[in-house]
Amino acid sequence: MQLPRDVLVGSDMLGKVSDVCSDLQLGRNALIVTGQKTRDIAGIKVAEELEETGINVQIHVSGSASMEEVENVMEIAREMDTDFLLGVGSGKSIDVAKLAATRHNVPFLSIPTAASHDGIVSSRASITHNGETTSIQASAPMAVIADTEVIAKAPFRLLAAGCGDIISNCTAVLDWQLAHRLQNVAFSEYAAALASMTANILIESADSIKPDLESSVRIVVKALVSSGVAMSIAGSSRPASGSEHMFSHALNRIAPNPALHGEQCGIGTILMMYLHGGDWKEIRDALRIIGAPTTAHELGIEDKYILQALVESHKIRPERYTILGTGITPDAAEVVARTTGVIS
């Protein structure tokens, strides 16, 4: 099991980055991977903090989470003989830094500027190659530094998406239990219990998730860390990724303008909970209270793409058995999407 050694969550945590690097004895050459917006929000501040303690820093602004970008970053890391990498920003910057550090065999620090999904903590990187996005095994971050002040200023949509990613543990665990019963797949009671408990605590705290509040950010970041730990215990993303994630991955392939990962997973959870015969209204209501999308219209995706994604979701990861089994018919897809109000 790989777990982060240090997890810092709180106000003004960007100011602690040098202390963390010195405690972990990470070395003198650092490469920061950041995004176009997040460079100014946190990337430069992190660079200045490190430079003050004599660390040599290079900043790379990354546009996409592609294999080409990972190779670019590895090339820079080789040229500057970097001792460690830092992913400062959103999911894409963190994934590029995570995989480049793993392949270059150096430690990696995750410094999210938004709490939009559990990839900020996990040992997996979602990378696009030849038009396909795959989730690749990577090293877990050596440390996670989540500055709640910075994250609270991010667009609220990103925090609400993070809640959707956490709530999706509900159907991921049901799918995992089903696969265990029907196909005897390896199952971890500890990982499943942690993932379910994390989602349930968040559902119960739905009315505490509000814009511009550091206390809300703290709840969401802790839940994302907890989901990440569940995946580490399981040795796979099973406790946090089931049929609802397959639906989101299918939408990414099908929809011309996909929404955020956590937003799509949240809606996927409503749909898949209906198929499981569970309390899908509880999921929908929690997402509504939080302010996350619960309909195709709110997601900004046309109904026809929702239906196509539902019918094609089972093809995404055929080896991962879920409630979708060998697939649902277009008629059945229409019933589930209409009954749950996802399409109207």
Ligand X SMILES: NC(=O)C1=CN([C@@H]2O[C@H](COP(=O)(O)OP(=O)(O)OC[C@H]3O[C@@H](n4cnc5c(N)ncnc54)[C@H](OP(=O)(O)O)[C@@H]3O)[C@@H](O)[C@H]2O)C=CC1
**β-strands 6-10, 56-61: how paired?**
unpaired
Contact set for ligand X, span 182-241 (CB under 6 A)? none
Least Å distance between CB 326 and ligand X?
26
Least Å distance between CB 181 and ligand X?
26
116 scored as a contact of ligand X (CB under 6 A): yes
Residue for token digits 């202390």?
A: 19
> Side chain identity at 286, as an amino acid letter?
A
38 scored as a contact of ligand X (CB under 6 A): yes
> Side chain identity at 338, as an amino acid letter?
R
Asked whether residue 296 is marked as a ligand-binding residue, the answer is: no
Binding mask 231-270 toward ligand 13P (x if CB under 6 A, else -) reads ------x--xx---x-------------------------
Residue of the chain from 69, 95, 165, 263 that contacts Zn ion (CB under 5 A): 165
Residue 85 backbone class (left: φ over 0; alpha: ψ -120 to 50; beta: rest): beta
What are the backbone angles phi and psi of residue 34, rounded to the nearest 5°?
-140, 175
Asked whether residue 104 is marked as a ligand-binding residue, the answer is: no
Stretch that binds ligand X, among 37-45, 216-224, 278-286, 289-297 (CB under 6 A): 37-45
Q: How many residues does the chain have?
A: 344
Q: Is 29 exposed, middle or buried (0-12, 13-18, 19+ CB in 10 A)?
A: middle
| C-alpha to C-alpha distance for 337 and 211, rounded to whole angstroms | 29
Asked whether residue 94 is marked as a ligand-binding residue, the answer is: yes
- DSSP per-residue codes, 58-88: EEEE----BHHHHHHHHHHHHHTT-SEEEEE
| C-alpha to C-alpha distance for 332 and 311, rounded to whole angstroms | 9
What distance, in Å, lies between the first and last C-alpha atoms of the chain? 44
Asked whether residue 11 is marked as a ligand-binding residue, the answer is: no
Residues that bind ligand 13P (CB under 6 A): 117-118, 124, 126, 135, 165, 237, 240-241, 245
Residues that bind ligand X (CB under 6 A): 35-38, 41, 65, 89-93, 95, 113-114, 116-117, 119, 122, 124-126, 133, 150, 153-155, 158, 161, 260-261
Residues that bind Zn ion (CB under 5 A): 117, 165
Binding annotation for NAD(+)? 91-95, 113-116, 122
Binding annotation for glycerol? 118, 165, 245, 261
